[in-house]
Structures are given as structure tokens and as C-alpha cells.
A and B are shown apart, each in its own frame.
Chain A
Amino acid sequence: MSEFVSAGRLERVMKAGHLGVTSECGPPRGTDPEEVRKKGMLIKDYVDAINVTDNQTAMTRMSSLAACVHLKLLGIEPVLQMVTRDRNRVALQSDILGAASFDIPNMLCLSGDHQSFGDCAQGQNVHDLDSMQLVQTVRHMRDEGKFLGGDDIKRPPKIFVGAAANPFADPFEIRVPRLAKKIACGAEFIQTQCIYNIDKFKEWMRRAVDRGLHEKAFIMAGMTPMKSVGMAKYMKKKVPGMDVPDEIIARLSGVEKGKQAQEGIDICVEHIQQLKEVTGVAGFHIMAIEWEEKVPEIVERSGLYPRPEI
């Protein structure tokens, strides 16, 4: 964790010892870049970098790479999310080169939701590599300066590479070994699935710290504010790998409909305040899907604004 591997701010903020803050933006289901720019402008002063999702839930959207370029051209630092579902190793390496040609400094490697969840359920999937092997690939291209095939890369990419972790998926006992594996493959930062079960997350974190994993990678806690009790119930029942405790649902239903959104934001802020105190938490990844306008409030009230000068 010494010299910088990318030209990005996210890496520098966390290596300087500050809590990193990232958020997320989903590209539009169309060709208008203005939608991407608008979301970016809303939150750019409140975060160190913005993740751009890659055909999330397998719904076809503007490509993550293109949207990242739009952000970069506005002076906003993106995190390129790349799933292994849709591209083989030729295309994956190619897109990494494309991203690096625009000096996009961060990447998050994921498997991706199965295509049957999206709008092309009849399509093929690729999974030539899995998410861990993709992390290895980025590191190989960056540190060895070589393609998977062995040839040299002209002007190797300088990318700070991350992976996702889900402390709430089954089986729980291998979630930390899995985190260890991703870090062993070369992941330098981790963004977790959104956290509602603070106790379970603390247990996961404790095990990770036990193994010293927090010193090998920056672990960022994922946070998503609930908009309504309906959303909470949906996430509890219908989203695989999501853990929403009943207390959250109770708290939200105890409030009249018009005030639930604010309650959801309050819960999110409280959780961030709690997690700031937990050893090993290196930052927060705030995913306010289609609710980006609330990110400034969350960051401010959590005491994470203004972003540090580095």
C-alpha cells in the first residue's frame, strides 16, 4: 500500500488514511449522455469517485465504459464496473485498454446477475472468466504489462482494482475466506453489498480484521437508503443475498407513508455513523439507485463532507 498504482483520487484518499466515499450511477436505457452527466454533477462534490454499473440485473443499458467516459470528460472520477457475464477475455481486456486510454483510474470486477433476470433472458452468457480471474487479469495487465496471451501491452493500464463482497450471502462461514481469496487475487479495494444487518456485518468485519485483510485492501461498506417500507419488504423477500432485519421493516412501517423516505435516509445516516467506528471500515459506498439527489444529504449528515484535500 505504498506508491500509487493509478492516477485517481479514490486511491489517494484512502491511502492517506481518510474514509473513502463512492456512490453509484446507472447508465440510461437509451443514448442520451445528459442523464449520466446530470447524475454525476449532482453528487461529484460529495464523493471521491462514482461507480458506473454494467448492465445491472442484466437489463441492457448504455455501456458502463461509455458512461464512464462521459463522466471523465466532465472531470468526475468514475469506477468502471465490469461483469464477466457478457464478455469473453478478448473483450474484457479490450475494454480495460479502452478505459485506460481515457485514464479511467478505477475498476470493480463482478460476475453479474444471471441474464434471466433481465430483458434478454433468451440470450447466451459468457463467463469466460469469473470475477476473481478478472481481478487477476487487471493486475496482470497493469503490473506485468502483458496481455493474458503473453504479449506486451503498449502503455499498460494504471487501474486501481476492486471487487465486490457480500457478507450476507450464503454460506456465511466462507464469506471471509472468499474475501481473502479476492484479495489474494489482487483486489485492492472492496465494496460490499448494502448493509442493513449491522450485527452480521460487524461479525464479518471482525473475522476479516482477525486475518489482517483490512490491511491488505480497503474495505468500503455498502449503504443504500430505503425509500419506503415496500422497498424494504421487496429487498428482504425478492433479492438474493440481501439481509434486511425485521427491525428495519418495523421502523419503516411505524412511520406514515409520506415520511418513510426520510426515515430511510435517517437509518442510513445512523448506520454510517455506527460503522465509522468499526475497525477495518475504510470507506462507504453509497448506492442510492434512482435517488442520487439524496447522496449529498447522506454524505453531509454522516460527517463525510467536505471531501478531504489531497
Chain B
Amino acid sequence: MRLKIPTNFRIVRLPCTGKIDIIHILRAFEKGADGLYVVGCMEGDCHFNQGNYRARKRVEQAAKILDQVGVGGERVKMYNLSSGEGPLFAQYSIEMVNKIKEMGPSPVRLAKQKMAKQKKVTAA
């Protein structure tokens, strides 16, 4: 549709958001992602019946864990839209990216960068 969306996120395609497990979300943050959003079908319209309900619960759980370990549960969020809603997807993407920019880099990423620097220093 040639809409303007931010370029600093990766899209991971799934047959259904119900395929997402909590560990997938956590691993992304473990590897240094600053934010993650899950985009699923409108509630009640899931192609596979309840996949998007499961996804919502798992996103909530992951957010809770991210809060508990100090990364920030706000960094993960679930959106629902229908596949034809290109402009809405663009809007959500912008919203999410802006929110993450405001929150700043993930503490995990910062810590990893710091650790890498220290190792370089000791190596040199």
C-alpha cells in the first residue's frame, strides 16, 4: 500500500498468533530487543478459533515477567486488527516504535553492551 512505517523493526510472520509461546517473547528480549509487539486478528475472528486469545494471555504473562526482572512489561504489547487494515497496522507500528523510543533501550541490551566493552578493555 506504500504507507510510511518505521524501518527499525523486524517482522516475524506466523500462521497464527496462537503459535507464540512466552519463551519466544522472552528470548527476543534476552537477545537485546527493545520492544516487541504481537499483531493478531480481531477478537472473535481468529482463523484458528482461539489462537489470538491464547496469544493475549501469553503476552500478558510475558509482560508480567519482564516487569519482575526489571526489563519493563510495557515493552511488549498485543494489537488486534484484520488483515485488510493496512493503515491501522502502520499507525500501531508508529505508536509502538515511539513508545519504545521514549522508554529508551532495553536494560538487557545496555547491560550486554557494557559487558562487551569491559571484556574488550580487559582483553586490550
Direct contact of A and B (CB under 8 A): no
